[in-house]
Structure 1
C-alpha cells in the first residue's frame, strides 16, 4: 500500500502543482482584466474575459515597442525612474529575469561547464555571460574571466563565481537539462539520460591513469 501511495503521489504531484500554478496565474490576470473592465464600466461577458483583455493589451504593447517614438518615450521614462535607488534594484532584477525569456533567434550565452575542484572532483556550472563586468576584471589578475553560476540543489538560489576560461570544460549538455540536474541533485531521470560530457574529462582521466602506471612500475622495481 505504501508503494502504491508513493507511486500515485510521484505521478500526480507534479501535474497537480503545475496546473495549480497556471490556474493561479490565470485567475490573477483575469482579475486584473476584470478590474480594468470595471474602470471603464464594461460588463464581464464570461470567465476569462479579463485574461483575454490582458493578453490583447500585452500584444498591443509589443506592437507599440516596434515603433521608435514609443520605444524612445518608454526608454526615457525608464531612465527617469531608474534614478530612484530602490526602484532601480527591484526593476533591474525583474527586467533581467524577463530578458532571459527573450531570445529573438540569437544563440544563448548560457553554457554548461565543469570546473575541477581541489579534491579532484568536478562541479557543474553555467556560463551566464561571456564577459565579466569591467570593475571586476580591473580588480582581478590578468586573464579571461567569466561569471559562472553554481546552482544549489532544491533551491532557485545559486552562487556566482568568476572563473578563468582556461579552467572551464565545456559540456555538450543543454542548459535546461543541466539546470534540472543541479536543481534535483541528479535525481531527475531525464537529466541522467541526457547527453554525456565531452571527451576532455575522459582524456584527463586517461592521462591520470597513464601517468600513474609508470609510478606503479617504478615502485615495483624498487621492491
Structure 2
C-alpha cells in the first residue's frame, strides 16, 4: 500500500507541474491569439489557423515600433503620449503602465539589482529589487534612501519600501534567480 501511495505522490510531483505549464502556455497563447485573432477570423472564415492573431499582433507592434522612430509618425506618437499624460485619471493609469513596461524592457531596467534588507526590530532578512536610487527628485528628505520592491511569495503583488541606502545590501544574484526564489517561497534553488 505504501508503494502505491509513493508512486501516486511521485506521479503528482511529476505530472502536475507539466500540466500546469501546458495550461498556462495554452491560455497565454489563446489570449495573445485573440487580440487580433477575433478581428481576423471573419476574413479567414473557415480557414483561420490558430496563431495567425499572434503573428499579426507581432507584425503590428513591430511596424508601430518602427514608425515611432520616424520623424512624422514619431512626432504623432509623442503628441499622443503627452496628451495621455495630461488627462486627469488616464495619466495615472498610463504612467504606471508605461513606467512598468520601461522598467522591464527599457534601457534603464529597474529590476536589475537584487538587494537584501533587514526587517526592523528583527534579525529577519528579505530579498527585494532596487527600483529607484534617486528619491531626492520625488521628495527631498529621502535623498539618502532607495526604493526597494519586495515581491510577495506565490503572488503578483508586493510592497515598495523606502530604505536608507546604508541599510541595503546589494547582492550578486541574477534578478531572474531572485524572482524564482521569492515566488517559490524559497523552494527553488539557484545555479550558484
Give the Å deviation of 1:66. 2.0
Distance 1:112 1:52 in 2: 35
Q: 2:23 aligns with which of 14, 20, 24?
A: 20
Structure-1 separation of matches of 2:71 and 2:80: 14
Are the equivalent residues in 2 in contact too, given 1:32–1:54 (CA < 8 A)?
yes
Q: Does 1:84 align with 2:87?
A: yes
Alpha-carbon distance, 1:56 to partner:
1.5
Picking from 42, 65, 68, the partner of 1:65 is 68
Larger Rg: 1
What is the CA RMSD across the aligned residues, in angstroms?
Answer: 2.6
Detail structure 1 runs of 4+ shifted over 4 Å in the superposition.
41-44, 106-109
Cα distance in structure 2, aligned partners of 1:21 and 1:112: 27
Cα distance change on mapping 1:2 and 1:133 into 2, 3 Å: farther
| TM-superposed deviation, 1:146 | 0.6
SS of the counterpart of 1:150?
Answer: strand
- Secondary structure of 2:104's partner? coil
> Given the superposition, is the C-alpha separation of residues 160 and 57 from structure 1 closer, same or farther in structure 2, using an over 3 Å criterion?
same
Match of 1:220 in 2: none
How far apart, CA to CA, are the structure 2 residues paired with 1:174 and 1:36?
40
Gaps of 5+ in 2: none
Normalising to structure 2: TM-score of the pair? Answer: 0.80
Task: Name the residue aligned to 2:35.
Answer: 32
Quote how far apart the aligned CAs of 1:148 are: 0.8
Shift of 1:164: 1.5
